[in-house]
Amino acid sequence: MVNDKSLEKLELEIAMMVRRLRHRAPDIDEKQKLQQASYLIMLILSDQGPMGVKDMACRLHLDVSTVSRQAGDLLKKEFLKKTPSQTDRRSYTYEMTKKGQEAFESNRGSREERFQKMIDQWNEGEIEEFTRLLKKFNSLVEPGC
């Protein structure tokens, strides 16, 4: 069993990390072509390939209607295209367009620069260990879909 002090420290550090990242978000969003929600949709599509709204919603821990609205905004900007699903005629599969890929890569570059500045003093081993632990933590809160 984990002691209470360790849990308190963990909770504080996670809360402070979220707070600091949210505090920076408005300034960052003004400089980028993609809002956070749009970026996450495109990140998932870039990483896992074309998929439907239900799968995206599950991976993002969001309601299907929310993801559908966000995907609709990306369609209007011509960052995504949708095609009828091969398995279910009632649904669609979304994928990035060339224009969307360019916007995504531009945003990804900006984000990587920001992260590089944050962890500039870390060595490769520390980065890999932090990534491993974050992935392990995130897998605990991953939905069962």
Q: Encode pLDDT of 2-24 as tens digits.
A: 788 988 999 999 899 888 877 76
Q: Which two three-digit tokens encode residue 65?
A: 């209607």
pLDDT at residue number 88: 83
Structure tokens at 10: 């963990």
The 10s digit of each residue's pLDDT in 61-112 is: 889 999 999 999 999 999 999 999 888 888 899 999 999 999 999 888 888 8
Question: Is the same domain home to 64 and 117?
Answer: yes
Structural domain range at position 132 = 34-140
**What burial class does residue 70 get, using C-beta atoms within 10 Å of its C-beta: 0-12 exposed, 13-18 middle, 19+ buried?**
buried
| Gyration radius of the chain over CA positions | 18
Do 19 and 39 fall into the same domain?
no
Phi/psi region, residue 94 (left: phi>0; alpha: psi -120 to 50; beta: rest), is beta
Instruction: Decide if 43 contacts 56 (C-beta within 8 A).
Output: no
Q: What is the pLDDT of residue 68?
A: 95
Residues 123 and 61 in one domain: yes
pTM score:
0.76
